[in-house]
Amino acid sequence: MKPKERGQSPEEQSRNRDDVIKRVFEQHYEMGAKEIPFSMDDIRAAIAEVAKTRPGYKEKNVADVRYQYTSGRRALPESVNKLGPWMIVGRGKAQYAFVKLAAPPEIRLQEDLLTILLPDATPEIVLEYAGSDEQGILAKIHYNRLLDIFLQVTCYHLQNHWRTSIKNKGQCEIDDLYVGLDIDGKQFVIPVEAKSASDRLSKTQIVQMIDFARERYPKLIMRPVGVQEMKDGSLALLEFTPAAHPNEIKIKEMRRYKLVPMSEVPLDKQQSQT
């Protein structure tokens, strides 16, 4: 009887995938390059090379090897970033590129940002079943109209977790999408990227949602928003400049909100703040 194969541990899978993406990078890297193109076939070839040295490595989801780095779930290997920093972007169907950045793509927030307390309007049944991941965060954003408060426009929900593709960029996923109106009747498109406290916002996803909104809604004024859950459960909302290149994306506005029972809102104190 054949012995049962032992599956990879999460740590082994991460190490193997780091080796795969490192091999792809090293195969195409040229000193001084600001963009390094590669393809899905390059990833498959690198997987085969790693599997030769580690027979236990079997990749069941080839697309996820690239996606874990573009989604912000995992940083690129240190041996790659020390020549950068870099981020991976889409360049068409099954085509990608390492793009060199002026600073790491991870968006770091100050922990001592002023917290504004708001009465929690999330229905209890939603709190019970929404969970503690990005989906639960997006539900709180929706029911408490946090985008309306933050952007000072009336926002209307269109669709969440929208998997689509961008011309000459490839596939992407938008966490949430709103449109909005202001007092003068101007119309806005508001793509949203949300991260739980265990993850971190990255320009990788911000670039994707800007590209998507620019292509899909060219007549609307774009206001890209990131939502980062903090360790205390509060939510930091950030508006970004809708730039085309990651180096040009900057934080335009930032606020930190915490949803609490109405009895815990320091009304007198917040009413007197200017």
Domain ranges of the chain: 10-100, 115-272
Give the whole-angstrom CA distance, residue 18 versus residue 213.
31
Query: What predicted TM-score, i.e. pTM, was given to this entire model?
Result: 0.84
Identify the pLDDT of residue 1: 43
Identify the pLDDT of residue 274: 62
Identify the pLDDT of residue 114: 92
Ordered DSSP codes for 138-178: HHHHHHTTHHHHHHSSEEEEEEEEEEEEETTTEEEEEEEEE
**Which residues of the chain are modeled with pLDDT < 70?**
1-7, 72, 274
CATH number of this structure's domain 115-272, picked from the four choices 3.40.960, 3.40.50, 3.40.1350, 1.20.120 = 3.40.1350
Which tens digit of pLDDT belongs to each residue from 101-160?
999 888 988 888 999 999 999 999 998 888 778 889 999 999 999 999 999 999 999 998
Burial of 114 from C-beta contacts in 10 A (0-12 / 13-18 / 19+): exposed
Identify the pLDDT of residue 67: 81
Identify the pLDDT of residue 7: 62
Alpha helices in the chain (DSSP H): 10-28, 40-53, 62-70, 78-81, 124-129, 134-143, 146-151, 203-216, 267-272
Identify the pLDDT of residue 6: 55
DSSP, collapsed to helix, strand or coil, labels residue 51 as: helix
